Amino acid sequence: MDISGASALVTGAASGLGAATAAALAARGAHVVGLDLPGAVERAGGAAPSGVVLVAGDVTAEADVRRAVEAASARGPLRVAVSCAGIATGARLLGREGPHDQGAFERTIAVNVLGSFQVLRLAAEAIAATEPVDADGQRGLVVQTASVAAFDGQIGQVAYSASKGAVAAMTLPAARELARHGIRVMTIAPGVVDTPMMAGLGDDVRAGLEATVPFPARLARPEEFAALVGMLVEHDYLNGETIRMDGSLRMPPR
């Protein structure tokens, strides 16, 4: 699918996976709107690459996501939406201070699952209203972000694994339903990626994480995630699947 002159929406676009993805889609000629929290947009300042406009909002708020979808659609037919916004929660079911906090679990589900759902449904509505781009009737693509924790979650990742498992589980039914509108749905499940979330870890912790990856024995780069999104844009026959991007990593229990 050629997205030159079309528009794209990327959430979590002020840093990490989202920033790399927004830049990669803009490099392909798309007009990109990046949605992120007000604080993240403020910290990014004028750092958005050419072709990317950052707007402040919360993926859990329908009005904010709809506003971002409308902003993207105003720049060209919406063809791609990528959900990169997410949070990682670490807590044991039975910790030293008692059972897992319900509020933390609910917040994780809200951002990672509801946020992805908001983008999926509202972007699909806008993409479905566009004209097909090819003889197959294709109109666009929605890419979600899960995690290897969806499949081999570690101790302390109950909330995170539940949320990312839900994102992966949405993929096939969404792809099947949106097929009649010419919209593909794919999900990427990254392993350990060198994002700002990892920046605060010590060198020993980072080295330990890198050692768990069979090959290449390093953290993945955000640009590699972005490159995979670009490949999904180009490969029109990929649909309804979750792809692990993890260097064949299988997470141990802890």
- Annotated catalytic residues are 160
Distance CA 144, CA 9 (A): 12
Neighbouring residues of 107: CB distance < 8 A, sequence distance ≥ 6: 87, 89
Q: Report d(CA 149, CA 191) in Å as an integer.
A: 8
Helix 102-109 with 158-178: angle, nearest 10 deg: 30
CB 32 within 8 A of CB 53: yes
What 3-state class would DSSP assign to 112? helix
- Among candidates 84, 89, 78, 91, which has minimal Cα distance to 140? 78
Those residues whose C-beta lies under 8 Å from the C-beta of residue 149, and which sit 6 or more positions away, are 157, 160, 161, 164, 251
